[in-house]
Amino acid sequence: MFDYEPIDDNGRIVTLRKFKFCEWCGVVIKIGEKAVRRVYCYDECFNDTRQHPECFEAMKEYGADYDYDFEPMKMVRGKPLHHSDEGENYEPCRIISQP
C-alpha cells in the first residue's frame, strides 16, 4: 500500500503559464487555460501535477476519500473511468514516456 500525503491538494485552480499534460487523462492543458494544481507526496515521491478541473472532479468521484490509485494519463477526460473500462486501447502518453 502506497502512502499519499497532501501538500497542496485542495482543488486550487491556477492559470497555466506553461503547457502541461493532465495527470488524469493525458490531454494537454494549454497556456492560459485553467487547471487544478496538485502538490503531494506519493510513495515518498514528490509530485507537482495539473489536471483539468473536470478531471479533478472525476478523480474525486473515482476515490472519494483520496485513498485511491489510478493510472496517470490513462483515464477518461472528465469521467471516473479508465480507458479500458470503455473498451478503448488508448495510449496518450506513449510519446513522453519513451525518452
Q: Which residues contact Zn ion (rule: CB under 5 A)? A: 22, 24-25, 52, 55, 77
Torsion, Cα 39 78 80 59, to 10 degrees, reads 20
Is the Cβ of residue 37 or residue 52 nearer to Zn ion in the bound state?
A: 52
Cα(42)–Cα(20) distance, integer angstroms: 19
Cα(95)–Cα(27) distance, integer angstroms: 12
Is the Cβ of residue 3 or residue 50 nearer to Zn ion in the bound state?
A: 50
Min separation Cβ 22 and Zn ion, Å: 3
Cα(74)–Cα(71) distance, integer angstroms: 6
Q: Which of 59, 56, 90 is nearest to 74 (CA)?
A: 90
Is the Cβ of residue 3 or residue 49 nearer to Zn ion in the bound state?
A: 49
Helix (H, G, I), strand (E, B) or coil at 10: coil
- Report the residue closest to Zn ion, judged by CB: 22
Min separation Cβ 24 and Zn ion, Å: 4
Min separation Cβ 42 and Zn ion, Å: 18
Min separation Cβ 97 and Zn ion, Å: 17
